[in-house]
Amino acid sequence: MRSLILILAGLLLAGTAAAQVAAPSLNPTPTLSFAPGNPAVLPWDGPSRVGIAYGKREQDVPGAPVSPVAEGDVTSLNAQWVGETFAAGAAIVSLTDDVDPLFGGGQSTIDAQVWGVAAQFAETYTMGLAYEKVTIVGPPVAPGDETETTPLFGGTARFGAFYVGISGGTGTREDNLSPPDEVQRAMRNYGLAYYWREKGAAVHAEYYRGQRDAAVDLVSGYNTDEEVISGFTLEAIYSDFLFGYQSQSNELTDFLGAAVNSQDLTTITLGYVPAPGWSFVVAQFDHDTFDAAGVSQGSASTTSVGVTLSF
């Protein structure tokens, strides 16, 4: 039953930790990629905007007595302001899954908030700060309640149409006991991107890597896994139409160095994104989890629709 919680946690905590490290996404209405891996990308983004996205989700686990084992939805609110030398942004994401009674029943939730600020220098360098909080509440049959907060610092540099980015911070994760068990772990992200944009057209290609260290409380035994993330993003806008593809892999290892599982994530995005103006985006997000032997533990699929006003 714990595999269901791993799928939920992997979607948000590991699945989006490193996206957008060197350059911003061209998608103005992200649903699951709520936490940019580097707040310093904000000044390079397009016009200021406010948006909302809503998606429906399904999860399956091999050998379960029912399919899907859980169904739910995800809602994302995001806003950002981009000035000549300063930018700020914030996002709120709420994800809920109702577990089928034949699989134990109950409800799983993930709530996340993130905000960031950044400044640009000499039209070449940026520096930014962000704060992220993610809370997971598992179903009664497989409790996994946890909260993780991460302050994040990052920077980028632009060389023509090429961008490099790096970010890092130390996160604090705790359970729901009283007093809570707590561990701290370092995280860092790196990215290299090609980013070109003008009115009605744009290209964003980026390779990124990220890592969150394993950590353990030797007194209570409370621990977190190491998460190593690598991925590639390719997005293009032509005549205000957006086409996007993102592929990412996550490798999880426990604090003793033993493999836990691996995760493959794929996102396909289509939309109409004039700027300024109203944007409409449809995204398909697929996530597969495998154990250390490569055997499927489960899958999750989310289809979302987003609307954004850019100004």
- This model's pTM is above 0.85: yes
- Among candidates 64, 81, 132, 144, which has minimal Cα distance to 107? 144
Whole-angstrom distance, CA of residue 99 vs CA of residue 56? 14
CB within 8 Å of 277: residues ≥ 6 apart = 309, 310
Q: Is 185 left (phi over 0), alpha (psi -120 to 50) or beta?
A: beta
Whole-angstrom distance, CA of residue 19 vs CA of residue 199? 24
- Among candidates 40, 19, 12, which has minimal Cα distance to 116? 40
Peptide bond before 276: cis, by omega within 30 degrees of 0?
A: yes
Q: Do 46 and 28 touch, CB atoms closer than 8 A?
A: yes
Q: Do 271 and 284 touch, CB atoms closer than 8 A?
A: no
Token pair for 271: 């939309």
Q: Domain containing 27: what range?
A: 2-310
How many C-beta atoms lie closer than 10 Å to residue 257's C-beta?
8
Looking at this protein, which amino acid is placed at residue 14? A
| Element housing 81 (H / E) | strand 70-82
Q: How far apart are the first and last CA of the chain?
A: 46
pLDDT at position 182 is: 85
Quick one: pLDDT band at residue 18, thresholds 50, 70, 90? very low
Q: Do 18 and 209 touch, CB atoms closer than 8 A?
A: yes
Whole-angstrom distance, CA of residue 241 vs CA of residue 182? 46
What is the CATH classification number for the domain harbouring 54? 2.40.160.40
For 37-95, write each residue's pLDDT tens digit.
Answer: 788 888 887 789 999 999 998 888 888 888 888 888 989 888 989 888 899 988 888 88
For 196-253, write each residue's pLDDT tens digit.
Answer: 988 889 999 999 998 888 888 877 877 788 889 899 999 999 999 999 999 998 888 8
**Phi/psi of residue 12, nearest 5 degrees:** -110, -45
Give Cα 272 distance to the centre of its chain: 22
Q: Which 3-state string (H, E, C) describes 6-23?
A: HHHHHHHHHCCCCCCCCC
For 259-303, write each residue's pLDDT tens digit.
Answer: 888 888 899 999 999 988 999 999 998 988 888 888 888 888 889
Total domains, the chain: 1
Q: Do 208 and 217 touch, CB atoms closer than 8 A?
A: no
Q: Do 125 and 115 touch, CB atoms closer than 8 A?
A: no
pLDDT at position 259 is: 81
Q: Do 297 and 291 touch, CB atoms closer than 8 A?
A: yes
